[in-house]
Amino acid sequence: MTGILAGLRIVEGSAFIAAPLGGMTLAQLGADVIRFDDIKGGLDSDRWPITKDGRSIYWAGLNKGKRSIAVDLRNPRGHELLTALITAPGEGAGIFTTNMPARGWLSYEELAKKRADLIALNIVGARDGSAHVDYTVNAITGFPMVTGPVGHDGPVNAVAPPWDLATAYAGALAIVAAERHRRMTGQGQRIVLPLQDMALAATSALGYIGEAAVNNVDRPRFGNEIFGTFGRDFKTKDGRFVMICIFSDRHVDALAEAGGFAKAFKKIEASKGVDLKTDAGRWTARAELCAVIEPWVAAQTAAEVSAALKKAGALWAPYQSFRELAADKANVLDNPMFTVLDQPGIGRYPVAATPFQFGAFERQRPRVAPTLGQHTDEILSGILGLSDREIGKLHDDRVVAGPQ
Amino acid sequence: MTGILAGLRIVEGSAFIAAPLGGMTLAQLGADVIRFDDIKGGLDSDRWPITKDGRSIYWAGLNKGKRSIAVDLRNPRGHELLTALITAPGEGAGIFTTNMPARGWLSYEELAKKRADLIALNIVGARDGSAHVDYTVNAITGFPMVTGPVGHDGPVNAVAPPWDLATAYAGALAIVAAERHRRMTGQGQRIVLPLQDMALAATSALGYIGEAAVNNVDRPRFGNEIFGTFGRDFKTKDGRFVMICIFSDRHVDALAEAGGFAKAFKKIEASKGVDLKTDAGRWTARAELCAVIEPWVAAQTAAEVSAALKKAGALWAPYQSFRELAADKANVLDNPMFTVLDQPGIGRYPVAATPFQFGAFERQRPRVAPTLGQHTDEILSGILGLSDREIGKLHDDRVVAGPQ
């Protein structure tokens, strides 16, 4: 295992997306990430999507390259084992990440009694301790009320969970920053990262709170249009959709070239009194731009439109379904980030490695996710130094479990 | 300036969201982040939302706590100055992040000639160098075809840009990981992070590619329902919307208590032959669950429904607009993460600090964003050691610019 974070060991007590994806991000950069779960599996062990046999494709996706230990989380002996694992000695060890309630034996105070320089990341729902998930946090941000078709009554939820994703990578950042700090000063610490505050900070960063407060307006729903510049989906002759955007001068020229729109664009500039090379100009003239682009796209197949846009270097992309993506040569099958893996119990399919390309390290191929308890014995023996007899007794007493 | 990354200096050449937000994340953790822009402003200097006077609220949101230097990016003397700034000596310096084309003088090869241990993060659109932004990458992932109301024809774009957000925090992680590595080994490196691969890796992690490949299905659109468990929006008597979810046993009981649904839930379990304490059970019986919850929510005001859900400890949240969020006491005005700042040229409004709470550091209040070129002179003098006369000449020759 070589990667930029080789030598770090992180113990993870997690479920769902933010905490597991944060841990996996570190594992795919070379850290030894050990996920513990209850011997019956975690809250997300059966989470959908599942195979026809009921195996969780979801779980496999978010736990790649980790080791798994299964422990009875209601048993005080289980707590002792995990406390020992979380606080085991070693320069790169003593790092814990969790989105479980950090109370009792899992609290920072209790754990730090065994290792004073412990680093613990507690991902929580809300600041005040109340439950929150991506979908509830998202409702509060305001985004669902401006997402979806113009005229739609009510909210439109995100499917790709923006706040879980943000919290996952931000959590990984927090751990590496804290470990760097410990390396420099010897000091450990607890880090609290509320999913809710991640969402609110990003909503603030993106200008939505400022716009509402300063301009005292509620931004309306603009459907698929990109607010404040130009971008929208267009339907082709063969019923496909393409996204076409303009973010810079270069994209104006490229789009004009792709569709032969140079004269039409000039006309729009004259009639609307705008400069299409500015965000404001494009936004003001977006209806006129669409009126030019729409019939051009509608008169051609997706293949024809794509060829023209690509050739001209426009900013565009075809929409596709997940099944089309899974079979997409350029983006998946021939993408060096992907490897077709045989995930035990699930099957062979393309799986992504880390998206980072660090110049000083070769990107490692993705590794499969463990089955529940797959590494129980090797962790008890290799890290906690337990004998075969002691490990046998823990199994007999149902304090731990191996692979089912 | 104290924070966990105090002592780091990062030079940023950026525009839009991923690169600036990544830089701001580091700045809010205590790093000295210097954003350079062309003397006419960057591609995003006027980006919407804007104030009535045309000042970019967007730019202010994504550049808080940075220093700004304005340099003529077409002038070779400007290139020399920025090269010197990026490669200036210092243990925590020599770090560069950009989403500009890393060619010519901005290429890693050229810059590393001046500082062999340089760390440079190149955020790119696509692996192959072609242009991509969040909206085009998102089209490819497959998410827009399953977002939005059931029966809707065509894609529904995300408004909160998931891939820009992911790339911002992942980029910050990459920089801290590389700086930790340099501290340990002395070795710098180039890091390439394609927005497109970030999106594809996350789509893989979330199980969508696996589901499509293994089960050979295209997941249909499920509207606002959370796939594979229970969650949906409901409309109140007074025309408001609330999101109600079930992710665990505890949420089933809490919801039952809030609405007096215990008997009704038992009936559903019996008639559908499911266990509502499982994801699969809830998903199978989601229509029946909705049939029980819908009239209960519809018969009450949002205030009444909220009080009952809150009291019972259910997993829920009210939907609100951005304007409501900006005036939201609990989430913004009384949230210790927010401070009302006077952003020069824009006005006073609540602005978020970092969402991280590091135990070893007090969270710093947010700082305003600089105006373009606000720190030009102090950077030229403080870091590059130029004399007043030399700086004066650079201004006279229009190689650099101060605040306008």
- CA distance linking residue A279 with residue B151, whole number of Å: 33
Supply φ then ψ for residue B233, to 5 degrees.
Answer: -85, 150
Q: Which of A136, A141, A198, A244 should we substitute to test contact with B (largest number of B Cβ atoms within 10 Å)? A: A136
- CA distance linking residue B280 with residue A228, whole number of Å: 42
Confidence bin at B109 (pLDDT 50/70/90): very high
Q: Is there a contact between A248 and B357 if contact means CB atoms under 8 Å apart?
A: no
Give the distance from residue B32's alpha carbon to the nearest chain A alpha carbon, in angstroms: 15
Please report residues of A whose CB lies closer than 8 A to that of B135: 226, 231, 243, 245, 317
pLDDT of amino acid B129 = 83
Look at residues A67, A22, A63, A24 and name the one whose alpha carbon lies nearest to residue A44. A63
Q: What's the pLDDT tens digit per position in A252-296?
A: 999 999 999 999 999 999 999 999 999 999 999 999 999 999 999
Q: Is there a contact between B162 and A157 if contact means CB atoms under 8 Å apart?
A: no
Q: Is there a contact between A322 and B142 if contact means CB atoms under 8 Å apart?
A: yes
Q: Is there a contact between A58 and B135 if contact means CB atoms under 8 Å apart?
A: no
pLDDT of amino acid A129 = 83
Q: What is the average pLDDT value for chain B, to the nearest integer?
A: 97
3-state secondary structure of B272: helix
Give the distance from residue A326's alpha carbon to the nearest chain B alpha carbon, in angstroms: 5
3-state secondary structure of A369: coil
pLDDT of amino acid B2 = 86
Q: Is there a contact between B189 and A360 if contact means CB atoms under 8 Å apart?
A: yes
Instruction: Please state, in angstroms and as integers, the Cα–Cα distance from residue A22 to each residue in A25, A167, A274, A293, following that order.
Output: 5, 8, 46, 41
A12 strand-pairing partners: A35, A97
pLDDT over 90 percentage in chain B: 98
Active-site residue list of B: 164
pLDDT at A1 over 70: no
Active-site residue list of A: 164
pLDDT of amino acid A205 = 98
Burial class (CB in 10 A: 0-12, 13-18, 19+), A117: middle
**Closest in A168, A187, A200 to B331, CB measured:** A200
Look at residues A212, A201, A229, A140 and name the one whose alpha carbon lies nearest to residue B347. A212
- CA distance linking residue B90 with residue B63, whole number of Å: 24
Q: What's the pLDDT tens digit per position in B259-288?
A: 999 999 999 999 999 999 999 999 999 999
Q: What's the pLDDT tens digit per position in B374-396?
A: 999 999 999 999 999 999 999 99
Look at residues A177, A179, A192 and name the one whose alpha carbon lies nearest to residue A123. A192
Instruction: Please state, in angstroms and as integers, the Cα–Cα distance from residue B288 to each residue in A7, A135, A332, B268, B269, following that order.
Output: 51, 21, 39, 7, 10
Average pLDDT over residues A223-243: 97
Provide the residue ranges of all domains of chain B, joining segments of one domain with +: 9-203+330-401, 241-318
Please report residues of A whose CB lies closer than 8 A to that of B311: none
A124 strand-pairing partners: A194
Strands A347-352 and A315-318: unpaired
Q: What's the pLDDT tens digit per position in A350-367?
A: 999 999 999 999 999 999
**Closest in B157, B172, B204 to A351, CB measured:** B204
**Closest in A48, A130, A224 to B157, CB measured:** A224
Q: Which of A189, A323, A335 should we substitute to test contact with B (largest number of B Cβ atoms within 10 Å)? A: A323
pTM: 0.98
- CA distance linking residue A306 with residue A295, whole number of Å: 15
Q: What's the pLDDT tens digit per position in A295-307?
A: 999 999 999 999 9
Please report residues of A whose CB lies closer than 8 A to that of B49: 207-208, 210-211, 215, 219, 227-228
Nearest chain A Cα to B50, which residue?
A211
Nearest chain B Cα to A162, which residue?
B162
Q: Is there a contact between A133 and B315 if contact means CB atoms under 8 Å apart?
A: yes
Q: Is there a contact between B165 and A160 if contact means CB atoms under 8 Å apart?
A: no
Q: What's the pLDDT tens digit per position in B44-59?
A: 999 999 999 999 999 9
What is B9-203+330-401's CATH number, 3.40.640.10, 3.40.50.880, 3.40.50.10540, 3.40.50.170?
3.40.50.10540
Q: Which amino acid, B394? A: L
Nearest chain A Cα to B217, which residue?
A323
Please report residues of B whose CB lies closer than 8 A to that of A315: 131-133, 136
pLDDT of amino acid B178 = 98
pLDDT at A35 over 60: yes
Q: Is there a contact between A214 and B346 if contact means CB atoms under 8 Å apart?
A: yes
Average pLDDT over residues A105-111: 98
Confidence bin at B208 (pLDDT 50/70/90): very high
Return the DSSP state at A403.
Answer: -
Token pair recorded at residue B204: 């893989």
Give the distance from residue A54's alpha carbon to the nearest chain B alpha carbon, in angstroms: 10
The answer to whether B203 and A159 have CB atoms below 8 angstroms apart is no
- Whose tokens are 């399919």? That residue is A349
- CA distance linking residue B351 with residue B342, whole number of Å: 9
Q: Is there a contact between B206 and A325 if contact means CB atoms under 8 Å apart?
A: no
**Closest in B165, B210, B349 to A210, CB measured:** B349
Token pair recorded at residue B103: 């060619």
Query: DSSP per residue over B99-122, as a string?
Result: -S---GGGSHHHHHTT-TT-EEEE
Q: What's the pLDDT tens digit per position in B130-155?
A: 899 999 999 999 999 999 999 999 99
> Which residues, other chains included, contact B392 with Cβ-Cβ below 8 Å and sequence gap of 6+?
none
Look at residues A159, A160, A171, A227 and name the one whose alpha carbon lies nearest to residue A197. A171
Give the distance from residue B38's alpha carbon to the nearest chain A alpha carbon, in angstroms: 15
Q: Which amino acid, B123? A: I
CB pairs under 8 A between A and B: 513
pLDDT at B1 over 70: no
pLDDT at A404 over 80: no
